[in-house]
Amino acid sequence: MTMPTFTMSPAPTGSIRPRAVRRAGRGALLLSLAPGAVFLAGCGNAPTTASPVVPSSELADAGKRPCPEELPTGDDPSGHGFGADEPADERPDLLAPEEAWVCQYWPFDAGTTADGGAVFGWTRKGDPEPVPAGDLPALKTALDDLAPADRNRACTADLGARWMIVYSHGGDQTGVVVDDYGCRDVRLTDDPHATAPGSEDQRGTVGGVLDGGRAVLDAVGVGRSD
């Protein structure tokens, strides 16, 4: 059985995007997906602010925690814990964020495949961090630009953290999960605590994989700068 090995290196010096200075440093994550397959990627450090006080009804029902401790799981065609992998059938039509929070998720060893490869779950690191009101227009623009993933795109074979941006509109919450590696895939969830990102037949979102994750991360100032 090949167990994933995590190695964090000190954050490098040098220029970092202004928003990233507020919320994310950089490290390195080393792990194995399957025997003989090893990938290296950078990850941002998780926010460390106190849990927000949230008046919205759905968030109140979730114990005033915008983000779950672990990302919900659903269909997993790859068998490695990445979830939906088919492009979305259409562009989403998302409501404007009135308030939002950012959470970082790291992979952990949740099991093995039949041939001994790793199966990952995703656990939250740190507490949710509120998105400043001044960043919400940029977030809305990035969400409006989300589009079905290109089937012919080429993605790097690395692995890193995932970020969930949970936003509320009129008390209704939506989760936007972005891979901070590869093609920066985006998967949506209409219930961040219960519905697996990218699941089909969701209320107010679309299933499948979307392009545009890098712009979403830039809008809220997190993620790798490479």
Q: In this predicted model, what pLDDT tens digit does every residue of 106-164 receive, in sequence order?
A: 999 888 888 888 899 999 999 999 999 999 999 999 999 999 999 888 888 889 999 99
Task: Give the pLDDT score at 59.
Answer: 60
Beta strands in the chain (DSSP E): 29-34, 37-41, 99-112, 118-130, 147-148, 162-169, 172-179, 186-189, 210-211
pLDDT digits (tens, 9 = 90+) for 42-53: 444 444 444 444
What is the DSSP code string of 103-146?
EEEEEEEEEE-TTS-EEEEEEEEEEEEEPPGGGHHHHHHHHHT-
Distance CA 188, CA 201 (A): 11
What's the burial of 226, exposed, middle or buried (CB within 10 Å: 0-12/13-18/19+)? Answer: exposed
Quote the CA–CA distance of 27 and 127 in Å, as a whole number.
Answer: 18
- pTM, two decimals, is 0.75
